[in-house]
Chains A and B, each alone.
Chain A
Amino acid sequence: MIYRESGQFKTTYAADQAMLPILQDKIFVLAVIALAVALPFLVSNYVIQALLLPFLIYSLAAIGLNILVGYCGQISLGTGGFMAVGAFAAWNILTRMPEMPILVGFVLGALCASGAGVLFGLPALRIKGFYLAVTTLAAQFFLVWLLQRPFFVDYSATGVISAQEIQLLGWTVDSGIDKYLFALAVVVIMALVAKNLVRSSTGRKWMAIRDMDVAAEIIGIRPMMTKLKAFAVSSFFVGLAGILWAYLYLGQLEANAFDIYTSFDVLFMVIIGGLGSILGSFLGAAFVVLVPIFLNIVPGWLGLPLDTAMVSYIEVFTFGALIIFFLIVEPHGLARLWTIAKQKLRLWPFPY
């Protein structure tokens, strides 16, 4: 009853093809954005800095990987490496050209990640599935190794480098709230870009390649361009996420912070959240980032006298069990559960 589209008539093609054709969806999305903007003024610094900020940044990375895996059907295990390329490229550009505006530096850094993505995406033209996973895995290890060369850290004696301060039109992004709002702005804009991209002809080509590449080729889609475009766009998003991770969350750059586990985490987010769904990227990121921390804190709230290692083990196996549970209940991910919930809401409270 609440969620019912009857009575909403579309009189133009534009209205019919809108990103959110149903009024309730529009209201919901705007309400979420409004809440996201208001949130930092309502909750503690811990929630902003330690929960919301990593959630936002990982959402961006998950959107990026979802474009590649969920929409174009090309598997990648190199996400961590591409994140690292973005972060290190941005840092090097901004260090070597200090007069460069920071946002331009970020975009150039993300473009470098994009280039790396295209380079390591080349094998995708010949191989698929597990074979591609292996070559992107090689990218992960190679890129992290490469970025540990002294050149990329500007020959710093300690090898770990601090990220520059972000300054925009006199606004210095230094407090937790500033960082959160900056990340929020980037993520909202990029999510809109992604959402529109996957509805465009580019996105449809990706999906055609994903669903059956031979058929797609026959109807006139060029596999090389389409696949490489997916790698480029995906790595751009992922690279940007890497930049935000280094500049906003860690405040420092270290290639080892983008190890293979980062790649796995982002892949889990995409799979648990739902392949081929922008919303799913957010749900997946929330699940992977927040649930383990929640599980780690709960025994303390309940006052259970467990030692640290035991709490940690409980966290790990409960989290694993939850992943299996959700994937059994809904193999298409959390986004699919959300769609089902919406369909039920259309009929609620009078299901037949």
Chain B
Amino acid sequence: MSQKYDVAVIGAGPGGYVAAIRAAQLGFKTVCIEKWIGKDGKPSLGGTCLNVGCIPSKALLESSYKYEEAAHDLELHGVSVGKPKLDVAVMLKRKDTIVGNLTGGIGGLFKTNGVTHLAGTGKLLPNKQVEFMGHDGKSEALHAKHVIIATGSVPVNIKPAPLIDDLVVDSTGALEFRSVPKKLGVIGGGVIGLELGSVWNRLGSDVTIFEALDDFLALADQQIAKESRKIFAKQGLNILTSTLVKGTEVKGKKVEVTFESKDGTQTQTFDKLIVAVGRKPFTDGLLADGCGVTQDERGFIEVNEVCETAVPGVYAIGDVVRGAMLAHKGSEEGVMVAERIAGKRAQVNYDTVPSVIYTHPEVAWVGQTEEQLKREGVNYNVGVFPFAASGRAMATNETAGMVKMIADKNTDRILGVHIVGPTAGDMVAQAVIAMEFGSSAEDIAMTMFAHPTVSEALHEAALAVHGHAIHIANKRKSA
């Protein structure tokens, strides 16, 4: 028997569940297929982001930061609590509770919006048919007018460092260490490696990060990347760039890592090793022969700028398609696709996708970097404001970092905003809004910011674009 739906979504991560809810809001009969089984053995919604990604990592980042604050910073404020005691089990349980609340919350949202949730796997057959296979092994054919593929991504494994239970782990395993490893190795100096490295570093691990590329945070603005690296080094993260991991060997309960850099080949032994070298699109068992959906050589499902695949009526969104692997990018694509199915003209502005690294301080940016603009031969002005000159940042003891704004030299339109500093991830939203509305640096400069706030640094950076910053000495004198 074939069930009929208007919209079938495969995957309930931040792309898929948002697409499903929006489709249901627009009046479509919607089904969402998700295969995830939570730690409690029950089906769980929310995908990587909620179960083993964004949310649990943020829970641990916050907890570990509290510990570090108690251990080091509180005394500065005249608050003595003695040496804080750490209970990793409680920390992990709190994280699991948050994950449980949120994933359960999506189930609730599905109910109130009338989205049918099917626990199991979905497979796209020829002629836009979807085969659903429940965890009980029973399969059923679904007929949907529109199919949205949102199957996300999985961590990449590398040959020199195969995963070994509880010793060499990926980003998921790194959320489950039951004690603090003395020595922790992290392969990959990207967002995930930095965040997970930070968590365990704060809790007392001696952390070494191996980055194969020459530049630290190669995709970020390099002025911000260099500043960030300095800050992280001060926190105790040992970051090795231009360093390639050649192999790993289990030595008792430890793992020995062989790596190569300009200093030659060396080895180091770690209690735990995290492999965080990136993620790849997940399409295992998704596409039946002849279903018509095409993939590029790296496995991404090929779509046009509005997420349509080669098959009319079949869409793909989020990590499984081109573009940044970011939850919010997937969510926006989900909304766009649902609205386009309803005949609306929604679009995603890929020029204003914000990126955030949730270290402390956070690193966040939107738009183009100075390096990109230089390469493209664009003339630009730069305004920089350090948090060291912000009253609010000083009061909260968060003076590391800066805001950097880049604007077109001719039109003054904001081309990029790059921040390392307190609440950078939230502050960058102001820049995203400004850019979405085509603002010039002067527009931000003319906008009133509340005092004292850390956001004032963005205001000052905008002023600095024209050499008008009030609270620092301007490099360029200008009327």
A binds B: no
Please report B residues at the A interface, Cβ cutoff 8 Å.
Answer: none
